[in-house]
Amino acid sequence: MTEPPISRGFRGRGRGDQSARVPPGQHLVTDFPVLSAGPTPEADLASWRFTLEDGESPLAEWSWAEFNALPQTDVVVDIHCVTTWSKLDTAWRGVAFDTLLEAAGLSEPPGPFTLVHCEGGYTTNVPSEDLVDGKAMVATLYDGEALHPEHGGPARLLVPHLYFWKSAKWVRRIQFLDAEQPGFWEENGYHIYGDPWREQRYDGD
Amino acid sequence: MTVTEAPASPRLRWMTATARMVIDETPRVRSLVLDVPDWPSHKAGQHVDVRLTADDGYQAQRSYSLASAPGTDLMLTVERLDDGEVSSYLAGDLRAGDRFELRGPIGGYFVWTPALDGPLFLVAGGSGVVPLMAMLRARAAAAVKVPTVLLYSSRSAADIIYRAELERLAAEDGTLKIVHTLTRERPNGWSGYTRRVDRAMLDDVGFSPALRPRIFVCGPTPMVEAAASTLRSLGHAANLIKTERFGPSGR
C-alpha cells in the first residue's frame, strides 16, 4: 500500500477526537445533523401503527398508545453517521427490540434477516442478530423529549453499533426474511452491513 | 421474480487529487478544479469523500458534492465554515498544486441524468447550489431542453455562487429560468425577491404539481425542511421531491 499524499499546510485539529470511541474516518460533533432523502413525513398518531411481520404474515401490531404502554428502556450510546460525524453519549428512550419480540410472543426472531420499513417508503436491511440482546430499540424520546420529526419522530429504529442510516427514521414495520434484501441506501451504493469500526461505508468496503 | 446478477462492486479506492486551479467564488466559497488520474466519471448530484493527511499522519475526512458536469474537469466547490477542520483547508490554506485524496463517486439517489423526463425544479440554499449546479451544467452539456427553474436563496448578492455562469446559462437557453432571493440584504437596483423561500414563492416560481416536476432541494436543514414540507402541501408528490441537507437541525 502506498503512502497517502501529504496535504501541504494541513494541520487538522481533531487529534483529541481519536479516542477509542471514535471509529476510523469519523469526527466528533456536538450538534445533531439531519440527513434524509426526501420530505419529513407528518405523523398522525391516531392512525400510527407499528407492525412486526414474518415475511408477509403479520405477527403483532401496536397502536401509539399500546406501543407506549410497553416496558420502556433508556440507553446512552454513541452514534456514527456515514457522512463522517459521530456524536457521543446520546440519550434515548423507547422499546427494546427484545421487548417487542417478547410482547409478540416470540422467543427469537423468526428469520435471520430483517427489512425495516418506514413512513415515506424508506427501507433499510439489518440482520436479526444485530437487533437482539439489547443491541437495538425503537426510540420515541431523545434527550428526554419526544423525538422531533426531522430526527425520525414519532419513532425511529436505533441500532447504534451500525452506521446511523440503519437507525431508520419514521419506522413503521419490521419484516423478518429468510434472505437478505438490500434497503434504500444499500441499493444506492452503500454497504450492505455498515460497521463503522470496519469503515464499511460503501458497497465493496 | 427477476433475479439480476449484481456486478461485483470493487471497493471505492482513494485517489490522489491535485488542485490545478483555485477559483474564489465568494468571500467564503471556493471552487477547486482537480486533476484526478483515472477518475471514473460521475452523475450530476453525486458526492465524494475527501481525506486530508497532515505531515504527522493525522487524517480528516468529509463529504463534498461535485460541482462539475460528467465528462468535464472535476470540480469541488467548498464553503469555508468557521469551525470547519477540512473546509478551512480546502477553502483556505490550499493552493494550486496541493494534493489530497478523494474517493467516489458516491450516491445513486440525489442525481439527475439527461434521461429524466418532466420539468425540473431546483431549490438551493447557500452552498446547497453546488450539486444543483452540476445538474444545470450536465443539462447544458447534453443540450437537454426540459423546462427548468432554479430558485436560489443567498444571504446577500456577494454570497451568490456561480452568479455570472448562471446568468450566462439562462441567457443562452430560453427553457432555463434562474430566480434569486436574498435573505439579509436588499441591494440598490435589486428587482428579485428579498425574503426566505416561502409558500408563495415556491408556488409562483415552481411548476404546477399537475406537471409532475422532478424537484431537488439542497441547503441548510431548516430551509430544506421548510421547502420540502411546503412543496408537499402545494400538492407535489413526496416521491418526486429529493432532498439533501447539511448542518444541524437547530433544535
Mean pLDDT of A161-175: 97
* ipTM of the complex model: 0.82
Q: How many CA atoms lie within 13 A of B6 on its CB side?
A: 12
Q: Is the pLDDT of residue B251 over 50?
A: no
Please give the C-alpha separations between residue B197 and each of B111, B166, B223, B229, in angstroms, as whole numbers. Answer: 23, 19, 8, 12
Q: Is the pLDDT of residue A1 over 80?
A: no
Question: Domain boundary residue among B106, B138, B173?
Answer: B106
Q: Does B73 fall in a domain?
A: yes
Nearest C-alpha in A relative to B65: A83
Q: What percent of chain A has pLDDT over 70?
A: 98
Which residue type is seen at A9?
G
Predicted confidence (pLDDT) per residue in B43-101, tens digit: 999 999 999 999 999 999 999 999 999 999 999 999 999 888 999 999 999 999 999 99
Q: Length of chain A, please?
A: 205
Spatial contact of B181 and B195, defined as CB atoms under 8 Å apart: yes
- What is the pLDDT at residue B108? 83
Distance to chain B for A67, nearest Cα, Å: 25
Contacts of A184 in chain B (CB under 8 A): 109
Same domain, B200 and B98: no
Query: Grid coordinates representing B203?
Result: 408556488
Distance between CA atoms of residues A175 and A202, nearest Å: 24
Interface of B with A in 176-235 (CB under 8 A): 221, 225, 228-229, 231-232
Same domain, B19 and B89: yes
In which residue are the cell numbers 483515472 written?
B38
Q: For residue B31, what is the domain's CATH number? A: 2.40.30.10
Q: Does B111 fall in a domain?
A: no
Question: Domain boundary residue among B81, B106, B131?
Answer: B106
Q: Does B9 fall in a domain?
A: no
Interface of chain A toward chain B, CB-CB under 8 angstroms? 4-15, 25-27, 29, 31-42, 83-84, 120-121, 148, 150-151, 184-185, 187-189, 201-205
- What is the pLDDT at residue A140? 97
For residue B158, give every residue at least 6 positions away whose Cβ sits within 8 Å of its Cβ, in sequence order, or none: B26, B27
Q: Domain A51-198, what fold?
A: Sulfite Oxidase; Chain A, domain 2 (3.90.420)
Spatial contact of B213 and B121, defined as CB atoms under 8 Å apart: yes
Residue among A14, A35, A203 minimizing CB distance to B85: A14
- Closest-CA residue to B4 (of A187, A15, A42): A187
Query: Grid coordinates representing B208?
Result: 404546477
Spatial contact of B237 and B214, defined as CB atoms under 8 Å apart: no
- What is the pLDDT at residue B3? 45
pLDDT band with cut points at 50, 70 and 90 for residue B207: very high
Residue among B98, B101, B229 minimizing CB distance to A40: B229
Distance between CA atoms of residues B243 and B240, nearest Å: 10
Same domain, B45 and B75: yes
Q: Residue A154, preceding bond cis, omega within 30 degrees? A: yes
Q: Does B5 fall in a domain?
A: no
Helices (H), A76-123: 97-103
- What is the pLDDT at residue B15? 96
Report the predicted TM-score, pTM, of the whole model to 2 decimal places.
0.89
Residue B54: which domain range? 15-106
As a whole number, the mean pLDDT across chain A is: 93
- What is the pLDDT at residue A18? 59
Spatial contact of B234 and B219, defined as CB atoms under 8 Å apart: no
Least confident of B16-20, B78-82, B166-170, B196-200: B78-82
DSSP state of B92: I
Cβ distance of B98 and A11 shorter than 8 Å: no
Question: Domain boundary residue among B106, B129, B156?
Answer: B106
Number of domains, chain B: 2
- Closest-CA residue to B132 (of B44, B240, B199, B247): B44
Distance to chain A for B240, nearest Cα, Å: 9
Same domain, B32 and B56: yes
Distance between CA atoms of residues A198 and B109, nearest Å: 24
Cβ distance of A5 and B60 shorter than 8 Å: no
Collapsing DSSP to helix, strand or coil, B207 comes out as coil
- What is the pLDDT at residue B190? 94
Predicted confidence (pLDDT) per residue in B138-163, tens digit: 999 999 999 999 999 999 999 999 99
Q: Does B87 fall in a domain?
A: yes
- What is the pLDDT at residue A39? 83
Q: Does B102 fall in a domain?
A: yes
- What is the pLDDT at residue A17? 57
Least confident of A32-46, A113-127, A158-172, B36-50: A32-46
Q: Is the pLDDT of residue A135 over 90?
A: yes
- Closest-CA residue to A92 (of A71, A77, A80, A81): A77
pLDDT band with cut points at 50, 70 and 90 for residue B248: low
- What is the pLDDT at residue B1? 40
Same domain, B86 and B124: no
User: Would you kindly state where each structural domain of chain A is located, as residue ranges?
Assistant: 51-198
CA angle (A182 as vertex; A124, A134 as ends), nearest 5: 45
Distance between CA atoms of residues B9 and A204, nearest Å: 5
Same domain, B102 and B137: no
Q: Does B184 fall in a domain?
A: yes
pLDDT band with cut points at 50, 70 and 90 for residue A201: very high
- What is the pLDDT at residue B219? 95
Same domain, B190 and B96: no
Cβ distance of B229 and A8 shorter than 8 Å: no
Which residue type is seen at B134?
A
- What is the pLDDT at residue B247? 64
- What is the pLDDT at residue A12? 86
Q: Is the pLDDT of residue A100 over 80?
A: yes
Same domain, B127 and B242: yes
Q: Length of chain B, please?
A: 251
Q: For residue B151, what is the domain's CATH number? A: 3.40.50.80
* Residue B139 CA, distance from chain mean position: 14
- What is the pLDDT at residue B125? 97
Neighbours of A138 (CB within 10 A): 27
Mean pLDDT of B179-184: 97
